[in-house]
Structure 1
Amino acid sequence: MDTTEITALLDARSAAIHAKDLDRLMSFYADDIVYFDVVPPLFYAGADAMRDRFADWFARWSGPIGQQTEDVHVEDGGDVAVVRMLIRTSGTLATGREVGYWVRATDGLRRGAGGWTIAHEHVSLPVEFPQGTAAMHLVPGG
């Protein structure tokens, strides 16, 4: 199984997020993307909804958005693939506050005539029970 194209796509996506390059970022997503995010609503559907969501997210940062991936696992099944990974997002928010936190992410990809695109993405944070708050202090292996 050669996963070079998929890992290159993920690296390029991280670079687009770091640069807050919305057009480049959207090029990695299928037009019919379904995206489960850590923020409401329950999901976003379609490229237009994702463009709006990413534009809003980018505006919440004063500079580049750090993207560090760990524990990337790719399962390639021909014209479909599933990727699971941990992603550390970091940087300075528009409020001036420095942040850094790890999320869990799972991507479902399809290969078409133009190459791989992300057709489904699920990003989550663990929850501290019974408080019901996000566990943003966790680190890989910890």
Structure 2
Amino acid sequence: MVSAEVQVETLLDSRSEAMRAKDIERLMSVYSPDVVYFDVVPPLQYIGSAQLRDRFLHWFGGWQGAIRQEIHDLRISASGDIAATSMLIRAGGTLKSGLEVDRWLRTTSCCQRSDRGWQIAHEHVSLPVDMANGRAVMDLIP
């Protein structure tokens, strides 16, 4: 039997692969229909798969090609049908403007197992903030 931790890691790998390929159907399949998602861009939250789908489609449209998604420092804690994860994600690629992007993001995902298997029920993506000037710090490297 495959452990919950391995199943959740597989779920997160699938999410990253779907983001790289801009495969919206595969990407949305890893999220719960009632997902709550906190992103680095406004608004404060996206609630439900319809809002999140729109957010991802808008985000996909800003890139020329594939979007790099590399998971690092993954930690998974699972008990029963609930799992909490934390990770650093190196994301990047070329924006339609021609700008090359290479950023490290902090991500926490809360996953829940149901009859549909493991899905992400809550996700929080963030950048550190320089409290002296109130701006995101986007050049940190682990």
Same fold by TM-score greater than 0.5: yes
Q: How many residues are matched?
A: 140
Equivalent position of 1:42 in the other structure: 44
Question: For the residues of structure 2 that align with 1:23 and 1:80, how far apart are their CA atoms?
Answer: 24
Equivalent position of 2:20 in the other structure: 18
What amino acid is aligned across from residue 19 of structure 1 in structure 2? A
Question: For the residues of structure 2 that align with 1:60 and 1:102, how far apart are their CA atoms?
Answer: 18
Question: For the residues of structure 1 that align with 2:12 and 2:126, how far apart are their CA atoms?
Answer: 17
Distance apart, 1:133 and its partner CA: 1.1
**Poorly superposed stretches of 4+, deviation over 3 Å:** none
SS state at 1:38 partner: coil
Question: For the residues of structure 2 that align with 1:65 and 1:134, how far apart are their CA atoms?
Answer: 21
- The match for 1:139 among 130, 138, 141 is 141
Give the alignment's Cα RMSD to 1 decimal. 1.0
Distance apart, 1:15 and its partner CA: 0.5
- The match for 2:82 among 80, 83, 86 is 80
Question: For the residues of structure 1 that align with 2:30 and 2:71, how far apart are their CA atoms?
Answer: 17
Distance apart, 1:139 and its partner CA: 1.0
Distance apart, 1:10 and its partner CA: 0.7
SS state at 1:54 partner: helix
SS state at 1:96 partner: coil
What amino acid is aligned across from residue 51 of structure 1 in structure 2? R
Q: List alignment gaps of at least 5 residues for structure 2.
A: none
TM-score (norm 1): 0.96
Q: C-alpha deviations, 1:61-86, integer Å up to 9, x for none? A: 11000001111000001100000000
Question: For the residues of structure 2 that align with 1:139 and 1:81, how far apart are their CA atoms?
Answer: 27
Q: List alignment gaps of at least 5 residues for structure 1.
A: none
Question: For the residues of structure 2 that align with 1:69 and 1:137, how far apart are their CA atoms?
Answer: 17
Identity over aligned pairs, percent: 51
Question: For the residues of structure 1 that align with 2:41 and 2:92, how far apart are their CA atoms?
Answer: 17
Question: For the residues of structure 1 that align with 2:92 and 2:71, how far apart are their CA atoms?
Answer: 12
